[in-house]
Structure formats: C-alpha cells, structure tokens
Amino acid sequence: MIEWLRQPWPWYVAGPLIGLTVPALLLLGNKHFGISANLRHVCAACLPAKIPFFQYNWRREVWNFFFVGGIFTGAIIATLLLASPDPVVVHPNLANELAGYGITNYDNLLPNQLFNLESLLTLRGFIIMIVGGFLVGFGTRYAGGCTSGHAIMGISNLQWPSVVATCCFMAGGFFMANVVLPWVMRL
C-alpha cells in the first residue's frame, strides 16, 4: 500500500480527486474552495483596526483554517513517510535549458543555485523572490482569488470571471516562463 502511495498518480486519478473536492465542499457544508482568502481571514481575526475590508464575520470561515491545516499536515506526512529516495527526474531538454542559466543541482525541487540566502541578496534573487512574491500576492487579491480558487471552484461553478481569470493566469504564466524568466536568469 505504501509503495502505491509513493508513486506519482496519473492525471486521470489525481485530477478527478481534486475536482471532487468542489462538490464535496458544496454538498457537505455549502462551502467554497479557495486558499488565498485565508490571509484575509487571519488579518480580520488578528488586526483590531477598523479597516472596512476586514470588518466581516471571519468566524464563519474558520473551517478554511482547518482545510489549510490539513493540507500542511498532509504535506508533512507525505514528506516524512512517502518521499521517494530517488532524485528528482528532470527532462533532458529542461536540464539543458537550466544548465544555460547555471542551474545544475536537482537533488531537491528547489535548486540550490536559486534558493539560498546568498542568491536572495543578488538582483536576480530579489526580482524572483521579493518582486515575484509581491506580484503573486497583488495579483491574487486583484483577481479576487488564486489560480486554484478560480480554476477549480470558479470554473466548476460556471463563473465567467473565473474562466477569464484562469485564461489570464495561463497567458501570464506562458509569458513569464518564456520571456521574463529567461531575461531575469541572465542577470
């Protein structure tokens, strides 16, 4: 059983399982799937300021904290009990492209050449981690949700704004991966 869980699951198993989260949440508790809204709930719970955006009954959404806690706990369990001892397999074409940027270490999912304190203190690290992180956070708030909320929950509810947002996420991702990231990696 453990060996079966350690293997990558095919898309036709993992995809429907993720997709079934939406009707399960709707049927079991009339809840909407989304992760990024938790930041708003935390701020509403912890900040005593009278900011109108945070003036709502955040206690109704406390279930979402448990949902995120379950994701976090599941990640810990998967890392400790289900991690494969084999190195991460990188497609040869991607390995060649990354080698052109000086990234050659694939022992984990985060290349050491990018994700370390020394790299963070460079212009490239600042752009990737700080500017990129800000843009992700700003875009999530501006779009009214994150990619998972729009693509999984919004589209399954046939919400036109979620279709538009997901198309824009994809177009932005293609642009970033093929135009901006190669430029940043050469800095």
Comparing C-alpha atoms, which of 138, 105, 22, 6 is closest to residue 114? 105
What is the model's pLDDT at position 109? 67
114: in domain:
no
What is the model's pLDDT at position 69? 93
Q: What is the pLDDT of residues 36-88, one digit of tens each?
A: 888 888 888 888 778 888 888 888 888 888 988 999 999 999 888 888 777 77
What is the model's pLDDT at position 106? 66
99: in domain:
no
65: in domain:
yes
Q: What is the pLDDT of residues 149-167, one digit of tens each?
A: 888 888 888 889 999 999 9
pTM: predicted TM-score of the whole model, two decimal places: 0.70
Rounded distance between C-alpha atoms, residue 35 and residue 136, angstroms: 13
164: in domain:
no
82: in domain:
yes
Q: How many domains does the chain have?
A: 1
Its domain, for residue 54, covers 1-86
170: in domain:
no
186: in domain:
no
78: in domain:
yes
Q: How many residues does the chain have?
A: 187
